[in-house]
Amino acid sequence: MENENIIEFRDFSFQYFTQAKPTLHNIDLSIRKGEKILIVGPSGSGKSTLGHCLNGLIPFSYNGEITGSLKIRDKETRDLDIFQLSKILGTVLQDPDGQFVGLTVFEDIAFALENDNISLPEMKQRVRKAAEMVDMDSFHSSSPYELSGGQKQRTSLAGVLVDEVDILLFDEPLANLDPATGKRAIEIIDDIHRDTDKTIIIIEHRLEDVLHRDIDRVIVMNDGRILADLDADSLMASSVLKENGIREPLYVTALKYAGVDVSKDLQAGHIDSLVMEDVKKAVFDWNNSVVSPQPQEEKETLLHLKNICFSYDGEKDIIRDVSFKLGYGELMAIVGRNGAGKSTLSRLISGFEKESSGIISYRGEDISGLTIKERAEKIGVVMQNPNQMISKPMIFDEVALGLRLRNVDEEEIKQRVEKVLKVCGLAPFRKWPIAALSFGQKKRVTIASILALNPEVIILDEPTAGQDFKHYTQIMEFVDEINKLGVAIILITHDMHLMLEYAERAVVISGGQKIADARPSDVLTNHSIIEQANLKETSLYQLSLSAGIEDGTAFVQNFIDYEKKVRVH
Amino acid sequence: MNSKLFSYNYIDTPVHRLSGLTKLIAFLFLTFAVMFSYDIRVILLVMVFSLFVLRLSKIKYRQIRLMVIYVAVFIITNAIITFFFSPEEGVKIYGTRHVLFKIAGPYVVTQEQLFYQLTKLFKYSSVIPLGITFLLTTNPSEFASALNGVGVHYKAAYAVSLTLRYFPDIQREYRNISLSQQARGLDMSKKAGFATRVKNALLIIIPLVFSTLDRIELISNAMDLRGFGKHNRRSWFSKKPFTTSDFIALFISVLIFTGTILVSVFINHGRFYNPFI
C-alpha cells in the first residue's frame, strides 16, 4: 500500500443551489498520504469551495449539487457526514478570532473531545499533549483576549491535532497574521508535517510566504478548474501565476526585471535553492542600470502629532510619546505588529479616543477641541470591514449619508455624490443595491462615502486585508488615484508588500512607541526594526546579498522605483 | 470599554471556587424561597444574606453599576404600574384599610398597599444581588455545563454560554460602529430629538447585525467542523468536581428554602405576613 492516494477527486463538480453556474468543474486530483500540498488561486477561483467539499461543510452547511466522485481514505464523502469526516480531516480556519470557541486555551483545544463525550481525566491528558505539540502548554488558562493572533492560531491547530486526524486542511492560515508570525506559522506546519506523517493541504494566496518552507506540489486554480499541478520550481518557470492574477515572489519579479529567463533548472521555487551563480551578473547589472528618480522635496506639514501619549486606565501607556508629521498629499504607512498601537493612533487622530498628553495639530492648529464629527470633515477613517460601515441599502444613499446628516442642500448632495461616484468608478452602479456588490466594490463605497465629505486626509485601516492580488491591486490603484488628487493617505497595515509598493514613508510602531520613521526600503532591510516590529526581511534584500550587492537597501529602493515606472506604463 | 454590562473575571474567592452547578441550584432555591414568601422579615433576612454573598465575591460597584441602574428603573416602573392598576391590592390581601392620604379618584395610599408594595420591592432587590453574583462569578462555559447539569439540553446551554461569551465582543463592535457613524455626522447626543435618535440608532444597528451575522456563520462552521452536536450528551472540560464547600453551600440554600416554607406554613399560615391584625 505504498503511496496510496488518501484523497481522490474524479470528475468532481459542484454547484451551489444559490448560484447559476457550477463553482467547481470536473476536478481530477489525487493527493497521496503524507504529501504537503499548496492550493493557490484568486478569490472566487473555487479554492475555498474545494476546501469545504473536503471538510464536509459542503453539503452539511452549504447546499448544492455534487456530481462525480470524491473519495477520502477510499470512502465516498457523500456517504460520510461532517462528524465522521472531522475524525479524518481537521480544518484550521482563517480567522483565529472567530473560531475560538472555548474561554481558555485548554478548553478550546478540548472542544472536539467534549463533543465526543470523553471523560475528564482522559481529556486533560490528551489536551496537554496536543498543546505541547504547538508550544501552547504554558498558556493553559489564558483567555483569547490575552493571546496574539499567532497563539490563537496555534491553539486552533492543537484543537484539531487533539483528534489525531490524518489530514490537516489550512484555509488561508496567513490571512490575519503579521509577517513574522506568518513565517513562524509556516514553520510550525512544516515541523508537524515532518514529525508526524500527516497529509497537509494549505489553501492560501500568499504564495511567497508559504514557500518559506518546502512544498511537494502547488495546485493552481481559477474559475473552478485546476490549471496547474506543479512543483515550486516549475511553477516559477511557468506563466500560470501571472495569467491568473497570483503574485509571484518578489525576488522572482526582480529576476524577471533583470532579464533572467526563469527556467526550472534555476530552482527558483525557494530563494534558498535558487542557483545564484547563473543570475548573479544579471541582477548586478540591472541594479546598476536603474536610474533613481529625483528625491522629492519635503512637503509642507498638514497633520502633526507631537509627543502623544495615551492610556485607557491612566496606568499603562498604550501610546508613549509618539510624534510624526504628515505632509500635504503624502501617502504614508503606519506599520507594526497586531496590538502595537497602530489602530489606537488612528482612533486618536480621528477623535474616537482622547490623548492623555501631547498635541495633534492640523494645518498648524490644535484640533483637540473639535468633535468627532468636525474632525471627520478634515480626516476621514475607513474601517477594515466594509460591513462595519454600510448602513443603507442603496449605493447613492450610503455615499450621501454623511452629507444628509449635515443637512446639506439636496441639490448639492446630488452633485457631490455624483462626482465622488465617478471618481470611484461607481457611477454605473449608482442605483444598485449594496448587497449585490463584491467585497472590493463595497470597500470602494465606504471610501466614496468618506470622500464625499471632502477630507484632506484619509486613514485606511488594513485596506487590503483578505484580498487576493487582483483585488488588492484594484483597491490600491484606486487609493493611489485618490492620493494623486491631493488627498493625503495614512495606511495602517502589517502587509509588507503594501507599504513597500505604495507608501512613500513608513512610521513603525512597537509597544506603543515609534521606533522608525523612514522609507519602506530602509525599514524592511533594517534587522533590528524588523525584529522589534514583527516584520519580515524582504526576499529582495536576501537576493541582493546573495548577488553580492553591497547596498541592499538601495537595491530594494531601485526595485520599488523600477516597479512604479513599469506600473504606470 | 468601561461600561460592560457583565463580564466574568476570575478572582480567588469562596464564591468563585464553587462549582457552577452548585451556584445555579443554590440560586434557584433562594429565588424560589423569596418568590414564594411575602413575609418581609424573611425577605429582609435573605436580602442581607445575598448582599453578604455579593460582598464575599469581591464584585466592585463599578462592574455592576449599569445593571443596577437598569434594575432600579425596572423595579420603580413596576411599582408605579402596580399601584396604577390595583391600588387596593394591599387592602384585599390584608383585609384592613388604613388610609394615609388621597391622591385622586380611586388612587388612595393606604398603609396596606404601602406595606405590600414595599414587600414586593424587597423581594426583587433580594434576588438581584444573587443573580448578579451568579453571573459574574461563573464563567460562561461552566455556566453552560451547570445548565446542562440541571437537565437543559447542551445545545441550548451552549447557546446561552456563547451569547454571554460574545457579549463583550459585540459591545466593542457596537462602540466602533457607533464612533465611525458619528464621524460621518450621526448625532447620538442628547441634543438630537428622540425620533432622530431612534432613526440614527438604526444606522448603527444595521451594520452591527450584518457584522454579527458574519461572526455567527464563522463560529457555527468552526463548531460543526469539530463535531458539535454529534451525540446526545457531551462532557465538559471546565466542569468543576464537587468539594466540601459545594455541599455546604447547597446545605445553606436548602436550609433557607425550608426555613421560608416552614415560616409560611406554621407561623403565617399562608404566604403573607400580616402585621395589621
Find the farthest-apart pair of alpha carbons in chain B and give their distance in angstroms, rounded. Answer: 68
Please write the tens of the pLDDT for every residue from B170-197.
Answer: 888 888 888 888 888 777 666 667 787 7
Residues of chain A contacting residue B210, judged by C-beta atoms under 8 Å apart = 387, 390
Query: What is the residue range of B149's domain?
Result: 20-267
Residue A366: how many CB atoms within 10 A of its CB? 12
Q: In the structure grid, which three cell numbers stand for residue B134, read together?
A: 451568579
Contacts of A111 in chain B (CB under 8 A): 223, 226, 228, 237
Interchain contact, B215 vs A98, CB within 8 Å: yes
| Angstrom distance (rounded) from CA A126 to CA B235 | 14
Q: Which residues of B touch A146 (CB under 8 A)?
A: none
For residues A193-202, average pLDDT: 93
Distance CA A537, CA B124 (A): 63
A57-61, A139-143, A371-375, A395-399: least confidently modelled range: A139-143
Q: Is residue B81 part of a domain?
A: yes
Selecting from B140, B225, B228 the residue whose C-beta is nearest the C-beta of A103 gives: B140
B105 occurs within a structural domain: yes
* pLDDT, tens digit (0-9, with 9 covering 90-100), for A306-358: 999 998 877 788 899 999 999 999 999 999 887 788 888 999 999 988 999 99
Contact state of A372 with B183 under an 8 Å Cβ cutoff:
yes
pLDDT at A115: 92
H helices within A424-569, ranges in order? 439-451, 469-484, 496-502, 520-523, 527-532, 539-546, 552-568
Report the distance separating Cα A133 and Cα A163, nearest Å: 13
Write down the pLDDT at residue B189.
66
B222 in a structural domain? yes
Name the residue type at position A375: R
B13 assigned to some structural domain: no
Element (H, E) at B176: helix B154-183
In a domain, B77, yes or no: yes
Number of folded domains that form chain B = 1
Q: What is the mean pLDDT of residues A170-175?
A: 89
| Beta carbons within 8 Å of A567's beta carbon, 6+ residues apart | none
Among the partner-chain residues A99, A375, A388, the one whose CB lies closest to the CB of B176 is A388
A233 versus A164: the higher-pLDDT residue is A233
- Number of A to B CB contacts under 8 A, please give it: 153
Q: How far apart are CA B3 and CA A505, in angstroms?
A: 38
pLDDT at B239 over 50: yes
Residue B4 falls within a domain, yes or no? no
Does residue B275 form part of some domain? no
Over residues A56-91, the pLDDT tens digits come to 998 888 889 999 999 999 999 988 889 999 999 999
In whole angstroms, give the CA distance from residue A289 to residue B125: 82
Q: Determine the number of helices (DSSP H) and then strands (DSSP E) in chain A.
A: 24, 20
d(CA B226, CA B242): 29
Please enumerate in sequence order all residues whose Cβ is within 8 A of that of B243, keeping only pairs 6 or more positions apart, or say none: B17, B19
Q: Which residue of A has its CA nearest to B227?
A: A83
What is the C-alpha separation between A323 and A199, in angstroms, rounded?
Answer: 49
SS (H, E, C) A190-259: HHHHHHCCCEEEEECCCHHHHCCCCCCEEEEEECCEEEEEECHHHHHHCCHHHHCCCCCCHHHHHHHHCC
Residue B5 has what pLDDT?
A: 45
> Is B12 contained in some domain?
no
